[in-house]
Amino acid sequence: MLPTDRDFMERALARARQARDTGEVPVGAVLVDAGGQILAEAGNAPIANHDPSAHAEMLVLRDAAQKVRNYRLPGTTLYVTLEPCPMCAGALVHARVERIVYAAADPRAGACGTVFDLARSDALNHRIEITSGVLEDEGSALLKSFFAERR
């Protein structure tokens, strides 16, 4: 049986939990090729990497691009536990990712329809299909508990 969106989102949630356990904001991402093979997976690491761009989405794009030896990643699907921010959405458009599946919406900086819609903007030369709310409760709860513990 082929893996489902929920299966890949479970993997992204596992990466988010790993990020949380190291003190990072718990966001995880998994990038899958058109055949359903995982190209890359990561959790947030800006603190560990001393890199403000080390969001989970950016890390999987970098890893996958190196693996396929191409900066374009057509036919791929990104599974991510939190709606991508403008930086990540812009990079996903440039990489020509076909689809983004996210768990929780980001009401402060979401760039896939919540605050901005860079992923589907007619002003850009590539638009990405968006599926939201896959395991939304789990993704949202992970973030809420993380921030509640830090207060």
C-alpha dist (Å) from residue 132 to 67, 83, 92: 27, 8, 16
Structure-derived torsion over alpha carbons of residues 122, 66, 60, 76, reported in degrees to the nearest 10: 50
CA distance 31 to 100: 9
Q: How far apart are CA 41 and CA 59, in angstroms?
A: 8
For helices 56-68 and 5-21, what crossing angle results, to 10°?
120
Q: Select which of 41, 57, 83, 98 is catalytic.
A: 57
Cα(146)–Cα(129) distance, integer angstroms: 29
Q: How many CB atoms lie within 10 A of CB 111?
A: 24
- Active-site residue flag, 57: yes
Residue 99 near residue 82 (C-beta atoms within 8 A): no
Active site residues: 57
